[in-house]
Structure formats: structure tokens, C-alpha cells
Amino acid sequence: MKFSARWLFVTVFALSCGCATWMPSGEQPPAIEARIRTPPLGSESVAIDSFLLCVQSEDTNKLEQLWSQIDQQIVAPELRLELHKNGMRVGKISGSLPSILESWVRDTERRREEDAAGLVADVQSEAVLWRCKASSIKEISIRNLSSQTIPLFYHVDGLKGKSLYAPRFYFSMNAIPGADHTADVKLLPEIEHGDFTNKLIVRDAALRQSAEREKLNFTSLKLQLKMHRGDYLVIGPTQERKALGAEFLHSLTQENVHEPVLLLLRLSHSGVDSNFSPNDAIQARRIDSL
């Protein structure tokens, strides 16, 4: 069966589709139009949709209600404890989105239409369609502080602290397709920071320069989860703003208020039977390589 990308949440931000939403309207998306297709994914690839959502300060009291509807048991207890110590939590939704989350997505759409420039401060709420090969690594940016120095505290073999200049917070993502429209998804929280320096790289007997920055890799917080097509993965901060999650998963508004940030990921297509509709996907920022 061929699945359409019409339901994709990228249409949340389409100016021509005011009623379109990020969520599918039924159990199955409508059939793709045979005359409009982009090349199918290879058998070694999957498609994953990501969406960044800033929770408004007046809605933060509903976060615990939301998490009560999300399966957090998909993460091993030891890793769940490490994530919690670092102010982060992860869960999976199978089926339709909880009504709270659905309403927040729609509110995001409305606010973008009314005042796109003032929607968020240092986190950009955006939808991205990722075409993932098993051999590739994608970087899902969460927060980018281009000219600031901030103190960061985190728990890795004890409590540690560090001052970071111009940090960019992101998840490295690798997705490997499996049988029956599944994928093994790996996510690693990382931070690059400091000034760029030129490094010499030798490859295929050629010498070239590459501008790079220092990186913090939180390997003890690495997520490795099996997702089925249609599953949603939710990554967000703990109720108490603390440790790594205090900066990684919060946005600072122009009113100097910290708002929680949720990262939503959905396994939308497996490579064996997928086609994308340009009518919908063209409105997403496609990232084929880093």
C-alpha cells in the first residue's frame, strides 16, 4: 500500500491550507495521487517527521497530564533515571495524539499565522521531513544561542558544570529500517560550542580544511528505540527545570520567561513502499545530507 504525505504536519504551516493539521485525520492517510510523485525511498531508508513545540507558560501546568498519557516504559529504568537526573524525559505514543498535544500543535499554527516573528525567542517551532539512510547521521537542532555564554550543569559520572559560548543544542539521529514498517531509531543529545577552528582532514589521499567546533556528547543518555510506522516519540523536560534539560529543552522568551520545549518525532514511512507528494512535502525543509 502506498501512503500519502498529505497528512504530514508540515502542512500545519502551509498558508494555502488553513484547515490542515499535523495529525492524520483518520486511521489511514488518503491515497496518493498517482500523477504526482517524487522518487520512492530506497529499501535502506525511512522517513521521519520532526516537530518542535514550545509550551506556553500558561499551559505548563498541563504537562503532567500529558505525560500521564504517554508510554514512558519504552525506556529502560536505568536510562530513565539518568534522563530524569538531567531534567529530561522520553515517551512514545501509538495511535492518535492526546487532545492536549493536538490542541498545542493547532495553537502553534494559529500563532505563527498571526505573528510569525514573535512566536518564539531562541527556539524555532518548525516541521522537518527527514529522509534517513542507515549510514547517515542527521542533526535535529533544538536551540541555537549564537552569541551568548551560558553556564551548563549536567549529571555524567557525577554533577559537572561548564561555561559554553554560542552553544547549539541538537540531537544526532540515526534510523535503520526494519521489517514490517519498523525502524531502529538512535538519538544522542549533543552540544557544539565555542569558536570555529580549521582542522586538516585527510581523505582519499587528499588534504582539506574543515571548520569545526568543540562538542559535548552525552553518550550515557543515548536513546535506542524501535518504532513502528505511525508511532510518535516525545522528548521533553521534567517538571522541574534542572541540569541539562534546563538549557537543552527550554526556550527563553522576549519576556525573559523559560518555556518548555517538546520534540515530536513520527516514523511516517518505510523505504519499501513510500512515495511523497510534492504538494505537501515541498513545504518542509528537506535535509538529505549534513
Q: What is the pLDDT along the chain (290 residues), one digit of tens a residue?
A: 433 433 444 333 333 333 334 454 334 333 333 333 444 566 678 899 999 999 998 999 999 999 999 999 999 999 999 999 999 999 999 988 999 999 998 887 777 676 655 444 588 777 888 988 888 899 999 999 988 999 999 999 999 999 999 999 999 999 998 888 899 999 999 999 999 888 777 666 677 777 889 999 999 999 999 999 999 999 999 999 999 999 999 999 888 899 999 999 999 876 544 433 333 333 333 333 33
Annotated domain spans of the chain: 9-281
Q: What is the pLDDT of residue 10?
A: 39
3-state secondary structure of 268: strand
3-state secondary structure of 286: coil
Tell me the C-alpha distance between 1 and 42, whole Å.
16
Tell me the C-alpha distance between 223 and 220, whole Å.
9
Nearest to 21 by CA among 91, 109, 119: 109
Q: What is the pLDDT of residue 8?
A: 40
* Residue found by looking up cell 518504532 in the block: 227
Q: What is the pLDDT of residue 28?
A: 37
